[in-house]
Chain A
Amino acid sequence: MAQVSLKNIRKVYPNGAEALTPSSFDIGDGEFVVLVGPSGCGKSTLLRMVAGLEEITEGELTINGRVMNDVDPADRDIAMVFQNYALYPHMSVRKNIAYGLKNRKTPKDVIERKVAEAAAMLNLNEYLDRKPSQLSGGQRQRVAMGRAIVRDPALFLFDEPLSNLDAKLRNQMRIEIKALQRRLGVTSIYVTHDQVEAMTMADRIIVMNAGRIEQIGTPAEIYHRPASTFVASFMGAPPMNLISARLDGGRVMINGDTVLAAAEGSGAVTLGIRPEDVVLGAEGSISFHVDIIEELGAHRLLHGRLADQEFTIHVGKDVEAAPGETRIALKSDAITLFHPETGKAL
C-alpha cells in the first residue's frame, strides 16, 4: 500500500512536444484512481512516468514519501498490467507469474506458494502449465494480473487493460479487477479512455484533456458537477446537453424562455444539463422538437432540437413520446452553467 504524490509533474518530449503540463495530485492509501481522457491526452504518459518507463522532465514524484524520479522501475515497488498483456510468449503461465519473483532472488518455496495463491485467486490453477498462446484473452489478462499481484507491490498500474477484450468479457473483468483491488487493498492507478470503466471502477476520477488535468473528483462529482464543458461532454453516454443561453437580470434564458430563475451575472453563457434531468410534459416552459427516438428497452433517447441546437432527452420506457413538437422543463437543481469561451464551470 502506498501514498503517491505528484508535484508539478511535467513531460516534454525531445522534439519539444509537451505531453503533460505541470500537474499535481495525491493518491491516498488503497485508493483506486482512474485517469480518463481521449487518446493523446497524456494519461498514458503520466502513468508511464509513475512506472518509470518514461523520464520525468520536471516535478517530483514520491511514493510513500520517497522521491522516485530517478529510481529504476524494478525498484519502485510497482506492478503494471499492459493493454496487450505483455506476457512472455515462450514461458508457461507459471513461469510468467514467477519471473519477477525469480529476478528478485525470492526463495523457491516462497515463489511456489505465492504463485499458487495468485493462481487460486484468479482461477488459473488448471492453466499454470499452458503457454499464453493457448489461453483466451480474458485468461491472458488474468495471468497479467497474477504477475502483478504475486509481487505484493505498493502500487498497481493498469494501462487500458480491458481494451483488447470483447464487451461482455470487459464488463466481467471490470468487476473482477475492482473486487480484487478491494480485497488486496493496493493503491491503484488505472488508465482508460472508456468513461464507463472510469465511472464504475474509480474511487476518484482524474479527467484529462490535451495534456492537462480537467477535473479531479469522485464519479458522482464528475458526473453531476463537471468542472468544464469538456468533462461534461466526455463523461456520460449520451453526454451532457450543452446549450447556449443568455444570462439576463439574474435569470437564464433560452430563446426568451426562462429556465433558471436565480443566477448571478449577465451575458452569454453555456447551459449544461444531463439528458435524464429533463422532464417531458405539456406544462414545460420550453419547446422541443423531437427528430429521432432511440428505443433502448429500459429507456428511450429522444434526439432533437432545442432553440436550433442539438439536444437529447433520456426518458423511461413508460413515457409516451412521438416525433414532433413537444414541451419540456429542465430540473433547475441539475443545471450547470459554463463560461461560453473558456468552458469552465461558473
Chain B
Amino acid sequence: MTEANAGVIDHAASHTPPRKRRIRWGAIGDHAVLIVGSLFMMLPLLMVLQMTTVPDVEVIKTGPSLTIGHQLPENFDKAMFQASGFSGQNTGLNMLKNSFILGIGFALGKILIGMMAAYAIVYFRMRFATLAFWVIFTTLLLPLEVRILPSYEVVQKLGMLNTYQGLIIPLIASATATFFFRQFFRSVPEELVEAARIDGAGPVKFFIDILVPLSRTMIAAMFIIMFVYGWNQYLWPTMITTEEDMFTLVRGIKQITQVLEGNRIPEYGRANLLAIIAIIPPVMVVIFFQSWFVKGLTESDK
C-alpha cells in the first residue's frame, strides 16, 4: 500500500520540472530481505542439484562444492531407468508412476469421501448429524501414526498389502476435507436447493448438477492440499509396500542411500536427482492450481 501511494505521489510530482528521483531505501531494504530469504530457501535445493552433476566419489571426497560436473545425463538415466534393487522393478519411472497413483488416488478419494460426507451432514435431516460431524472432526486428533498397527492389521487381513488399494483406501477418510466442504455447503443459499427441488432435481441430481460444479474451486483447493499430502506420504507406504515394484518415490530414495554398508559408495547423484524429481510434481500442481486455490478458499460466487 505504501509503495503504491509512493508511486502515485511520484507520478503527480513528475509534472513539476525535472527533479532528482528519490531513492527509496525502505523498498531496497524490503527487497534485500526477500532476496536473501529466497536464496536461503533455495540454497539446499541448489546444493542437491549440484551434487547430481558430479561423480559420487567427489561428493564423499570434497563435500559440497561449486563445481558443476558432467554426470547429470548419466545420473538421470540411472535414476529414471535403472533399478536399484533385486527385482529390477523399482526404476525411477516406476516409482514416479506409483507416486502419481498414490497422490492422485489419495486426493480424489479424500475429496469424494469428504464431499459425500459433508453433503449428508449438511443437506439431510438426520438425527445426530451434528454429533456425527464432530465425531468425524475428532478423528483429526487420531492421525495415521496413532492407529498404524490396527490399520496395518486390517489391511493385511484383507490381503491388500502391496496393492494400490491398500496404499490408498485406509488413508482417504478425511476430517479435513469433510470440514471444508461442510463449511462451503453451508454457505450455499437454501433457495438453490428449493429451486432445484421444484425443478425436479432429486438428491443425486442436485449433488451432481449443482453442488459439484459450484464446488469446483473448492475441489481444486482440496486437490492441491491432498495431492501434496499424499505424494509426501512416507510411513504408510513403507509399511504397506514390501515389493519393490510398489515403491513410491519418497520411499524409494531411502532405499538407494541405504547401501552405505560394505565398501560401496552411496549413489548420491542418483538419490539426489530422484529427490529433485520427487519435488517437481507437487510444485507443478501448486503452480498450475494456485489461482484456483486462492479462489476456492476466498471467493464466494454463489
Binding site for B on A (CB under 8 A): 51-53, 72-74, 78-80, 82-84, 86-91, 99-100, 103-104, 133, 147
Contacts and interface: CB of A to CB of B under 8 A. Distances in A.
B234 to A, nearest CB: 38
B301 interface: yes
A141 to B, nearest CB: 13
Contacts of B214: 89-90
30 contacts: A51-B194, A51-B198, A52-B197, A53-B198, A72-B197, A74-B199, A74-B201, A79-B198, A80-B198, A82-B194, A82-B195, A84-B189, A84-B191, A86-B189, A86-B191, A86-B192, A86-B195, A88-B196, A88-B209, A88-B210, A89-B214, A89-B301, A90-B210, A90-B214, A90-B216, A99-B199, A100-B198, A100-B200, A103-B200, A103-B205
Given A86-B194, A88-B210, A90-B213, A74 B189 contact: no
A140 to B, nearest CB: 12
Interface in B181-207: 189, 191-192, 194-201, 205
A86 B192 CA distance: 5
Nearest to A72: B197
B20 interface: no
A103 B203 CA distance: 12
Given A90-B213, A100-B200, A53 B194 contact: yes
Nearest to B192: A86
A72 B194 CA distance: 11
A336 B253 CA distance: 93
Interface residues of B, number: 19
B15 interface: no
Given A90-B213, A133-B301, A82 B197 contact: no
Nearest to A90: B213
B61 interface: no
A52 B198 CA distance: 9
B157 interface: no
Interface of B: 189, 191-192, 194-201, 205, 209-210, 213-214, 216, 301-302
Contacts of A100: 198-200
The residue in A91, A103, A133 that gathers the most chain B C-beta atoms within 10 A of its C-beta is: A103
Contacts of B189: 84, 86
Contacts of B210: 88, 90
Contacts of A51: 194, 198
B194 A80 contact: yes
A117 to B, nearest CB: 18
Contacts of A104: 200
A52 B191 CA distance: 13
A104 B301 CA distance: 28
Given A80-B194, A80-B195, A103-B205, A89 B200 contact: no
Nearest to A133: B301
A83 B201 CA distance: 20
A73 B198 contact: yes
A83 B194 CA distance: 12
A51 B193 CA distance: 13
Given A80-B195, A147-B199, 12 more contacts: A51-B194, A53-B194, A72-B197, A73-B198, A74-B197, A74-B199, A74-B200, A74-B201, A89-B214, A99-B199, A103-B200, A103-B201
Contacts of B200: 74, 100, 103-104
Most buried by A among B197, B199, B201, B213: B199
Contacts of A103: 199-201, 205
Contacts of B194: 51, 53, 73, 80, 82, 86
Nearest to B301: A89
Nearest to B215: A90
Nearest to A100: B199
A104 B201 CA distance: 9
Contacts of A72: 197
B191 A89 contact: no
**Closest 9 pairs (CB-CB, A-B):** A86-B191, A100-B199, A74-B200, A103-B200, A86-B195, A90-B213, A82-B191, A73-B197, A73-B198
A100 B199 CA distance: 4
